[in-house]
Amino acid sequence: MEPVAIVGVGMTKFERDRVRDTFGDLVFEACTRALDDAGMTIDDIDIVLTGSNDFFDGRTISSMAIMDACGSYDKNVSTVEGDGTFGAAHAVMRVLAGWGTCLYCAHHKGSESVMPLITNAMFDPIYERFLGIDSVTSAALQARAYMDRYGVTEEQCAQVSVKNHGNAFKNPYAQLPLQLTIEDVLASPYVADPIKLLDCCPISDGASAVVIAGAQRAKALDAKPAWVKGIGYNCDAYHLGDRDLSKVDALQAASKTAYAQAGISDPAKEVDLAEVHDTFTYLELMAIEGLGLCRMGEAGEFTAFGNTAQDGRLPVNASGGCISSNPVLVAGLNSIIECALQIRGDAGEHQVDGVKTAVAQGVNGPCGQSQCVWVLGGDE
Amino acid sequence: MGAKKVGIVGVGMTVQRSTRRDVSGVELINEAVRAALDDSGMTRKDIDAIVIGNMDHFEGINYVDTWSVDGSGALGKPIMKMTTGGTTGSTVAMGAYYHVASGMFDRVLAIGWEKNSESDTTGAIITAFDPFWDRPTFGGAVAGLALEATQYMAETGATEEDAAYVAVRDRKNAINNPFAHLRMESNIEAIMSTPYLAWPVKLGDMCPRTDGACAVVFASEDIAGDFPNVPAWVHGVADRHLWGYTSDPYVNQHVKGGTWFPAMERATRELYDKVGITDPLEQFDVAELYLPYSFAGLRYMESLGFCERAGGPALVRSGDTDMGGKCPVNPSGGVLSSNAIGATGLLRVAEVALQVQGRAGDRQVPGAKLGLATGFGGCYWSDELVIGKEKPEKARG
């Protein structure tokens, strides 16, 4: 891949209900911060991409609500509906195709959404929706399939919640820092067996933005670049019954592409930090395995030994992850931004020493059907 | 630089009908995908990535990209969804173009579809607008367009009959297109006698609601020679999505130097500069324009530079935009004949590709070499692509 860099990042504070802010207010805040971070004004941006979802926003053509706030006036602009990792991937494509700089933003107001209804609408309208299945109950099916296959325990899942909620204390943007014990998680009420309340992400409001630039523009800036080393994305089967939910085929295929582009042959050794999709605790364990950071079925033990802690050998979700703030769609973009900040050495209190290569993951669809993996690095 | 020139090497479209009860949404998508793969001499295995788009609230499917896998063939492949309202189809085309132009993928399948028979179209469109300021008073797409038509008639002296000419032209052209929805010999009196939906817009002035899908294969210049059809080349793309509130498009139109349709005029200026168009009526051999209602066929011609301001009625009545004219507009029958919204912009691209490849059958414009395709939507947004028979000299971003 031709060299492309993330040269500016911006996030809002993530909160349960940003009742004073419209979608546009959130996007304007995130975009302004990303431009400031890059040392740019909107005049330095050649092309704009946005990310939103008509269901979560309760608006047809949901991008219309933020066309002014994202600074797209009189610029080429487009919208990728889906997780931020996918939208930002398309921003990279536009820069590779010849545009100098691209501003990409994503927003979400979970406070204005009805999650069970909206995520029920991911499922087949004739055969599946009437069951009442939604993101939580489908995740429970997948969690059970994964736990049964590898003998993973609820305690092992619970440690992800303890670790990530704890990490969130050091991230000023995170919504839900919590001091928890494994017993606290195990004692929280079941939402859908085996998933308990403290295994689940919160509902969040917020927005994020990045500025992506080609090598020439990136080098001309004072901003510290984080270089895009590889991007892969891949889609699994739709009907849950057509998949073995304990497997991570799409994630493995996406990682393979991203690692090949980045020249990574042994991710367990070469990756210094990962920001993964942990909307439910078991998903972090599956992600660690699917990304090749440990062997299949061993992420529970890998985590128990402290490897994925902020001061561990391979920190995972040092930011606190989605389980601490989950603005849907923005979530994957946050993972990319956190990796970029870690590579730049700008992650503040949750900075991990010596991050040279970082991996971000995002998902679309039920039970991680469609997966996107980014590899970011400090060198061009 | 990694930027690649991009060719269109395969096109597939479904029959467009008011109600396709014979297929589900996924099957409708699959019908277009199979046709496009057959047309490009490929199988599912050859596709490197997929871009799909529709308008979520019409069918009520969240995450259409993951829902449609059995129809799109995306199992084990990269897929992303792009959606921008009425412009969705053209947005998907541009998205697929950039997938290939980036050098990341060689063969990319673009899919646009809609099953309007399963939707409350006006109900869904009203929710595109601001819940506090716009929704309580906004009457949907027809009422919004009626405002535009009223203003246009007041300022230019254009008549309802001028607009009816466009509806007659496009639906007559559709007789030559076996895929089109409304294929009819009509006349101005017949259009004038249809009932008003919102004055001055009558039933005969409006596009229909259609079920349909379209798929187009975009390929890199490195392999564009490997297909059964000579490629149609993307010469340039540009878009503007300027506005967000219903009243925004009317700002500045009355002041001196104000414009009809700033998004279209600015996108057009950028695109024509990139591609080297100075006289579109002479330089384009064919145009497939997203005209959602008849008055657009007058006013948008002005914003696209085919004639001066207020010159739309004279232009269309001159016959220059008819089949056999200088630049036939909508040989396929256009949007006034078929409007499966998510497919519509992509169909414009597919039709221009077929024209410059010389494969448009009974609707072929003889010798067409260069054409314009547009998408209209959102809040007076415009997407535009120039597609030609000759390979462009350089990749244009």
Number of domains, chain A: 1
Contact B102 A93 (CB under 8 A): yes
| Residue that finishes a domain, picked among B199, B226, B253 | B226
**In terms of DSSP H, where are the helices of B16-82?**
25-39, 56-59, 64-67, 69-72
Within-domain flag for B45:
yes
Digit-coded pLDDT (tens) for B17-70: 999 999 999 999 999 999 999 999 999 999 999 999 999 999 999 999 999 999
Whether B394 and chain A come into contact, CB under 8 Å, resolves to no
**A276 in a domain, yes or no?**
no
| A80 and B CB contact within 8 Å | yes
Does residue A79 lie within any of the structural domains? yes
CA distance A187 to chain B (A): 34
Query: Which residues are registered as beta bridge partners of A377?
Result: A227, A357
pLDDT at B255: 58
Contact B83 A237 (CB under 8 A): no
Question: For residue A65, which residues of chain B lie inside 8 Å, CB to CB?
Answer: 130, 244
How many whole angstroms separate alpha carbon B394 and alpha carbon B233?
Answer: 11
Assess whether B199 and B117 both reside in one domain: no
Q: Alpha-carbon distance B145 to A193, whole Å?
A: 52
pLDDT at A193 over 50: yes
Contact A93 B70 (CB under 8 A): no
Average pLDDT in chain A: 97
DSSP-derived letter for residue B233 is E
Interface contact B77, partner A, CB < 8 A:
yes
pLDDT in tens, A39-56: 999 999 999 999 999 999
B1 within a domain of the structure (yes/no): no
Whether B101 contacts chain A with CB within 8 A: yes
> Do B259 and B220 reside in the same domain of the chain?
no
Which ranges of chain B have pLDDT less than 70? 1-2, 250-258, 397
Residue B385, C-beta contacts closer than 8 angstroms, at least 6 positions apart: B90, B93, B94, B97, B234, B236, B237, B271, B349, B352, B372, B373, B374
- Judging contacts by C-beta atoms under 8 Å, the chain A residues touching residue B102 are 92-94, 96-97
Contacts of B48 in chain A (CB under 8 A): none
Look at residues A229, A228, A233, A278 and name the one whose alpha carbon lies nearest to residue A251. Answer: A233
Whether the predicted model's global pTM rises above the 0.95 cut: yes
Asked if A366 and B379 come within 8 Å (Cβ–Cβ), the reply is no
- Same domain (yes/no): B135, B49: no
Partners of residue A59 in chain B, C-beta under 8 Å: 127-128, 131
Structure tokens at A290: 């699917």
B179 and chain A: CB distance < 8 Å anywhere?
no
Same domain, B11 and B156: no
Report the DSSP pairing between strands B381-388 and B196-198. unpaired
Among residues B65, B93, B40, the alpha carbon closest in space to that of B343 is found at B93
- Regarding whether B168 and B37 lie in a shared domain, the answer is no
Question: Please, which residues have CB within 8 angstroms of residue B368's CB and are 6 or more apart in sequence?
Answer: B285, B286, B355, B356, B358, B360, B389
B67 and B182 part of one domain: no
The Cα of A353 is separated from the nearest Cα of chain B by a number of Å equal to 32
Q: Is residue A364 part of a domain?
A: no
Residue B111 covered by a domain: yes
Nearest CA-CA partner of A61 in B344, B243, B343: B243
- 215-274 of A, contacting B, C-beta below 8 A: 231-238, 249-250, 253-254
Q: Is residue A32 part of a domain?
A: yes
- Residues 331 through 360 of chain A touching chain B, CB cutoff 8 Å: none
Question: Residue B257 has what pLDDT?
Answer: 58
The residue ranking higher by pLDDT, A223 or B342, is B342
Q: Bin B63: left if φ > 0, else alpha if -120 < ψ < 50, else beta.
A: left
Which residues, in sequence order, are CB contacts of A158 under 8 Å at separation 6+? A182, A185, A186, A196, A198, A199, A281
- CATH, residue A15: 3.40.47.10
Contacts of A364 in chain B (CB under 8 A): 63, 65-66, 81
B104 reaches A (C-beta below 8 A): yes
Q: Are residues B343 and B313 in the same domain?
A: yes
Give per-residue pLDDT as tens, A312-366. 999 999 999 999 999 999 999 999 999 999 999 999 999 999 999 999 999 999 9
B156, part of any domain: yes
DSSP letter for B320, please.
Answer: T
In this structure, what DSSP letter does residue B285 have?
Answer: S
Q: Are strands B196-198 and B201-202 parallel, antiparallel or unpaired?
A: antiparallel
Q: What is the dihedral of CA B184, B90, B305, B129, to 10 degrees?
A: 90
Q: Among residues 47-66 of chain A, which lie with CB inside 8 Å of chain B? A: 53-55, 58-61, 63-66
B146 and B273: one domain? Answer: yes
Tell how far CA B325 is from the center of its chain. Answer: 21
Are B171 and B140 contained in the same domain?
yes
Are B173 and B40 contained in the same domain?
Answer: no
Selected for mutation to probe chain B from A48, A57, A60 (highest B CB count within 10 Å) is A60
Q: Across the interface, which of B74, B80, B377 has its CB nearest the CB of A86? A: B80
What range defines the domain where residue B288 resides? 124-207+236-388
Listed by number, the residues of chain B in 122-141 with a beta carbon closer than 8 Å to a beta carbon of chain A are 124-125, 127-131
DSSP calls for A149-179 = HHT--HHHHHHHHHHHHHHGGG-TT-S----
For residue B258, the model assigns a pLDDT of 61
Is residue A347 situated within a structural domain? no
- pLDDT category at A255 given cuts 50, 70, 90 is very high
Q: Is residue B393 part of a domain?
A: no
Domain holding B347: CATH number? 3.40.47.10
* Residue B195 counted as domain residue: yes
The answer for B 38-57 residues in CB contact with A (under 8 A) is 55-57
Asked whether residue B394 is domain-assigned, the answer is no
Domain assignment present for residue A63? The answer is yes
Residue that finishes a domain, picked among B177, B193, B226: B226
How high is the pLDDT of residue B1? 42
For A43, the domain range is 4-114+203-220
Show the tokens assigned to A183: 């017993």
Residue in B62, B129, B396 nearest the CB of A122: B62
Same-domain check for residues B102 and B170: no
- One-letter identity of residue A291: L
Total number of domains in chain B: 2
Residue B99's contacts (CB-CB under 8 Å, 6 or more residues apart) are A90, A93, B49, B51, B105, B108, B218
| Most B-contacting residue of A28, A53, A61, A66 (CB-CB within 10 A), to test interface | A61
Domain assignment present for A73:
yes
Residues 6+ apart with CB under 8 A from B353: B8, B11, B216, B232, B387
Closest chain A CA to residue B262: A74
Cβ–Cβ contact A22 with B under 8 A: no
> Average of pLDDT values for A137-148?
98
**B353 within some domain:** yes
CB contact, 8 Å: A82 with chain B? yes
In contact, B267 and B300? CB cutoff 8 Å: no
Judge whether A96 lies within some domain.
yes
Predicted confidence at residue B7, as pLDDT, reads 98
Instruction: Let me know: does B243 contact A61? Beta carbons within 8 Å.
Output: no
Contact status of A1 with chain B (Cβ, < 8 Å)? yes
The verdict on ipTM greater than 0.95 is yes
Is there a single domain that holds both residue B64 and residue B155? Answer: no
Using alpha carbons, select from A13, A16, A37, A20 the residue that is nearest to residue A212: A37
| Interchain contact B79–A (C-beta under 8 A) | yes
- When CB atoms are compared, the residue of A2, A121, A237 closest to B61 is A121
